[in-house]
């Protein structure tokens, strides 16, 4: 299958900026350039989609907050202080 | 590592004060930073209550990070407590050039990585279809869907545990805990450019493990 002129340049551009794309650090113009390339390049399209899904899944691993550990740390700090203060 | 406490033999004098500024998660960044500075200054002056406010705000999140590097919940608790004890004893060496929590996380992550590097890495690889947790078509209330979600989560956790401690730290701080690039780089003592490069390599390594 023939490639349009500039395909290789866009390919290299996209590869270098995939992380920045995934992290939302690119300007609208650069984002569009990568999206256009990802539509016609199977490798880049697959990698981009895969990295985006991975990021979403990783965000889902974040444990809910709580205060159990805070209470234990405070208890340890108070004990530590008492012991050090008493020599 | 600059700004990391190295211990202090003399017990810090502690005082108990009231009237600490209050905040909510929705407060603006400047307000949060100002409040943090007040708490840190009071803690530096020996105010235990002020330091305990900082403990309440950060202990459980730090524990969640540390848990991803060590062998057990008990060891994670021990490492988290150790990080706070070192932070309290060494808070005079924190000069406010970064956010308090990035300084604290650096202590905790260094302790966790030190412990992780003492353990051999897991040997087996775990295959995982390239399927995000959120993209399943069924209702997330269906029992079979919850079971699949739990299984995928376990596989992702397992794959994460197979990354090197350096790679794992970048992914955990940036993608799991949601720190900004600037904050996560600061925790790890890296320039942002180096952090971004390491993060990309870490994600590719994780993807490779998952797709094996």
The CA distance from B202 to B198, in Å, is 6
ipTM metric: 0.86
Element containing residue B87 per DSSP (H, E):
helix B73-89
Q: What are B3-50's pLDDT values in tens digits? A: 444 433 445 555 544 344 444 344 455 678 889 999 999 999 999 999
Is the pTM for the entire model greater than 0.95?
A: no
Q: Which residue of A has its CA nearest to B84?
A: A73
Mean pLDDT of B162-170: 95
Mean pLDDT of B139-159: 79
The CA distance from B98 to B139, in Å, is 43
CA angle B79–B83–B85, rounded 5-degree value = 115
Mean pLDDT of A6-32: 90
Confidence class of residue A83 from pLDDT cuts 50, 70 and 90? confident
SS3 A24: coil
Judging contacts by C-beta atoms under 8 Å, the chain A residues touching residue B207 are 50-51, 54
Judging contacts by C-beta atoms under 8 Å, the chain B residues touching residue A84 are 11
Q: How many CB atoms lie within 10 A of CB B210?
A: 25
Q: What are B46-79's pLDDT values in tens digits? A: 999 999 999 999 999 999 999 999 989 999 999 9
The CA distance from B117 to B194, in Å, is 21
Joined tokens for residue A47: 């990698």
Contacts of B17 (CB under 8 A, 6+ apart): B42, B47, B49, B50
The CA distance from B68 to A67, in Å, is 19
In this complex, which of A53, A67, A70 lies closest to B135 when CB atoms are compared? A53
Q: Which residue of B has its CA nearest to A76?
A: B81
Q: Which residue of A has its CA nearest to B206?
A: A54
Joined tokens for residue B1: 């590592």
């Amino acid at each position: 299958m023939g490639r349009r002129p500039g395909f290789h340049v866009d390919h290299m551009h996209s590869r270098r900026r995939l992380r920045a794309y995934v992290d939302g650090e690119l300007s609208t113009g650069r984002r569009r350039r990568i999206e256009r390339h990802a539509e016609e390049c199977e490798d880049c399209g697959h990698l981009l989609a895969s990295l985006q899904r991975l990021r979403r899944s990783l965000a889902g691993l974040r444990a809910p907050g709580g205060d159990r550990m805070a209470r234990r740390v405070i208890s340890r700090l108070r004990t530590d202080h008492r012991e050090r203060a008493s020599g | 590592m600059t700004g990391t406490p190295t211990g202090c033999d003399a017990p810090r004098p502690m005082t108990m004060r009231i009237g600490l500024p209050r905040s909510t998660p929705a407060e603006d960044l400047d307000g949060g930073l100002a409040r943090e500075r007040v708490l840190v200054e009071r803690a530096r002056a020996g105010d235990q209550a002020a330091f305990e406010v900082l403990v309440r705000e950060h202990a459980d999140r730090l524990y969640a990070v540390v848990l991803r590097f060590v062998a057990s919940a008990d060891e994670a608790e021990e490492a988290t407590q150790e990080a706070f004890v070192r932070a309290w004893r060494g808070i005079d060496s924190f000069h406010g050039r970064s956010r308090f929590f990035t300084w604290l996380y650096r202590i905790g992550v260094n302790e966790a990585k030190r412990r992780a590097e003492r353990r051999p890495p897991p040997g087996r690889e775990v295959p995982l279809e390239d399927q995000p947790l959120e993209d399943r078509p069924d209702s997330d209330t269906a029992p079979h869907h919850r079971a699949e979600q739990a299984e995928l989560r376990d596989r992702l956790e397992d794959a994460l545990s197979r990354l090197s401690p350096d790679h794992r730290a970048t992914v955990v701080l940036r993608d799991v805990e949601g720190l900004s690039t600037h904050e996560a780089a600061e925790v790890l003592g890296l320039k942002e450019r180096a952090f971004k490069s390491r993060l990309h390599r870490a994600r590719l390594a994780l993807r490779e493990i998952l797709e094996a």
